[in-house]
Amino acid sequence: MLTHVVEYILLIFIILFLVMLAQKLKIAYPIVLVLGGLVLSLFHFLPSITINPELILLIFLPPLLYEAAWYTSWKEFWRWRRVISVFAFLIVIVTSLVVALVSNALIPGFTLALGFLLGGIVSPPDAVSATTILKYVKVPKRLSAILEGESLMNDASSLIVFSFARVAVTTGVFVVREAAISFVVVIAAGIAIGLLVGLLYYAIHRWLPTGTEMDVLLTLTAPYVMYIAAESFHGSGVLAVVSGGLFLSARSQRILNYRSRLQGANVWSTLGFLLNGLVFMLIGLELPVIIRELGTVSLGEAIKYGVIITGVLIVTRLLSTLGASVFTVFISRYITTADNRPGWKGPLLLGWAGMRGVVSLAAALSIPVYMDNGVLFPQRNLILFITFTVILLTLVVQGLTLPVLIRWVKMEDPDNHLPEEEQERVIREELLRESVRYLDTHHKNAIETNAALQQLRYDLEHHPSVSVNNRLDGIDPKEYKKVYLKMLEHKRQVLHELNKDPRTEHELIRKFHELVDIEEEIVRMKYANI
């Protein structure tokens, strides 16, 4: 037991070192972690680490999806809902179909059901990989918004395809009509259950006397409760987590106090980093186990199949994204679209940003070793190897070349957003102006008799960078604290209104919300005894 603990601690230190190396080299850390895990596995530096296949989806998927949903901009998600829906559902199903047909024709003994199983596993692109890579290059915000929204939804559709295909493999029965109806039911049930659980957590946070630690613990349990509840009622656990996460995130200012938001953000950031690091390392570390268990299929044949399937995935996604652009131009004649002239640059970049990762690995490892009748699951290890090859090649080849492609395409921002620095300046000036107006409107009498409030108003108007720690001169601190906290609440309302402007980026609004929370923490700590 102690040996295993030491091994996992060592693994965490290796992950930290590789992430620091990735930052030094300015390469997305998922790429370095996968390659690092692969090198470690070849030199047997660490023992083979295996996870119970039945638990892999439950351990990693709910918290990673919940964190992604929590930080997703609902404003951007709704704006690009049609594009996201097409990418997340239609393109995933088309990709699964193409992979099923190609693998059935290419690989001896591979049935259509096994092909759909493989298609469901490898069809969804990974959000972590794409967004991490996009941090190092400048792209229009719409691209990152579409990629993030797609990754939240395509996990659900791919895992539904995967589940149906796994049942077809084990039972030998697959009825298209029943599968189509079940597909809709699973989606609807998942969303409904996610929202119901979200409402329950909303009520607990809003009306029960929870403290900061309790709030954080509740957010940690939420994704698991949503996922397990949906799966128990045969709904999509993924969509339950996504819908519930989006619902609670949009109401975080109402249900969580400033301290819960600050501490919760730190906890979730650390947890997400750890889980992503572990799962990308697992991709590399699992290789020796997968190769040893290939059975009658030679390593050369397995590599060939993996490379071909990877090529099929890349070409299919590129054709799908470019085809979606053509279809958008056509359909915009009859309905209103977010952009009726998407061109070829954006679809090309979205098509090339199809790196596979966490969900594909989790789904592949969740394939049971034995079926219900005790017979070995057919082609399990070959499916695992092909999945590993797809993840490795898309991460390394597409991941390393995506920044080059972005710089070559030189896509201008079609939404004409102001530069981030300019947006920050506008938001900051609006907050200062509204703060002064609020004080003059609601606390004019108090300002006239309270020197500390007079100084506060003067600083807001003339020296906005002055810290709250330097404003109070000791005169009537109780009223000063009361007015200051009310002013901060007004700032939050101003930010809420600014967020409705489509030209204002959600990430910047979130950043200023955090700054207001920090300001409240300073005020409350300084005058804790008042």
Residues 14 and 84 in one domain: yes
Residues 104 and 173 in one domain: yes
Tell me if residue 530 falls in helix, strand or coil: coil
Residue 494: per-residue pLDDT: 93
Residue 339, C-beta contacts closer than 8 angstroms, at least 6 positions apart:
142, 328, 414
Residue 476: per-residue pLDDT: 61
376 — phi, psi (to 5°)? -60, 140
Q: Does residue 267 lie within any of the structural domains?
A: yes
Out of 409, 438, 459, a domain closes at 409
Residues 384 and 475 in one domain: no
Residues 222 and 259 in one domain: yes
Q: List Cα–Cα distances, 46 to 222, 292, 293, 340, in angstroms.
A: 34, 16, 19, 53
Distance of alpha carbon 13 from the chain centroid: 24
Q: Does residue 415 lie within any of the structural domains?
A: no
Distance of alpha carbon 437 from the chain centroid: 38
Residues 26 and 136 in one domain: yes
Residue 243: per-residue pLDDT: 93
Residues 287 and 316 sit within 8 Å (Cβ to Cβ): no
Residue 35, C-beta contacts closer than 8 angstroms, at least 6 positions apart:
284, 396
Residue 415: per-residue pLDDT: 64
Sign, CA dihedral 173-176-178-179, equals: positive
Tokens of 281: 């390392």
Residues 180 and 329 in one domain: yes
Residue 468: per-residue pLDDT: 53
Residues 14 and 62 in one domain: yes
Write out pLDDT tens, residues 238-284.
889 999 999 999 899 999 999 999 999 999 999 988 888 888 887 77
Residues 296 and 359 in one domain: yes
Residues 137 and 403 sit within 8 Å (Cβ to Cβ): yes
Residue 261: per-residue pLDDT: 94
pTM attached to this predicted model: 0.86
Q: Does residue 185 lie within any of the structural domains?
A: yes
Q: How far apart are CA 311 and CA 332, in angstroms?
A: 32
Categorise residue 230: left if φ over 0, alpha if ψ from -120 to 50, beta otherwise: alpha
Residues 197 and 226 sit within 8 Å (Cβ to Cβ): yes
The CATH number of residue 372's host domain is 1.20.1530.20
Out of 355, 389, 409, a domain closes at 409
- For tokens 């199809």, name the residue: 354
Candidates 187, 178, 257, 175; CA nearest to 216 is 257
Residues 394 and 435 in one domain: no
Q: How far apart are CA 80 and CA 68, in angstroms?
A: 17
Regions of the chain with pLDDT less than 70: 1, 3-4, 44-56, 127-128, 136, 172-179, 334, 336-340, 414-417, 463-476, 530
Burial group, residue 409, by CB count within 10 angstroms (0-12, 13-18, 19+): middle
How many domains does the structure of the chain reveal?
2
Q: Does residue 414 lie within any of the structural domains?
A: no
Q: Which domain holds residue 252?
A: 2-409
Write out pLDDT tens, residues 97-151.
999 999 999 998 888 889 989 999 999 887 667 777 777 677 777 888 888 888 8
Q: Does residue 87 lie within any of the structural domains?
A: yes
Residues 136 and 93 in one domain: yes
Tokens of 335: 């309905």
Residues 454 and 380 in one domain: no
Q: Does residue 518 lie within any of the structural domains?
A: yes
Q: Does residue 41 lie within any of the structural domains?
A: yes
Q: List Cα–Cα distances, 303 to 386, 388, 389, 472, in angstroms.
A: 7, 10, 7, 69
Residues 294 and 273 in one domain: yes
DSSP 126: P
Q: Does residue 202 lie within any of the structural domains?
A: yes
Strand partners, 376: 370
Out of 381, 409, 437, a domain closes at 409
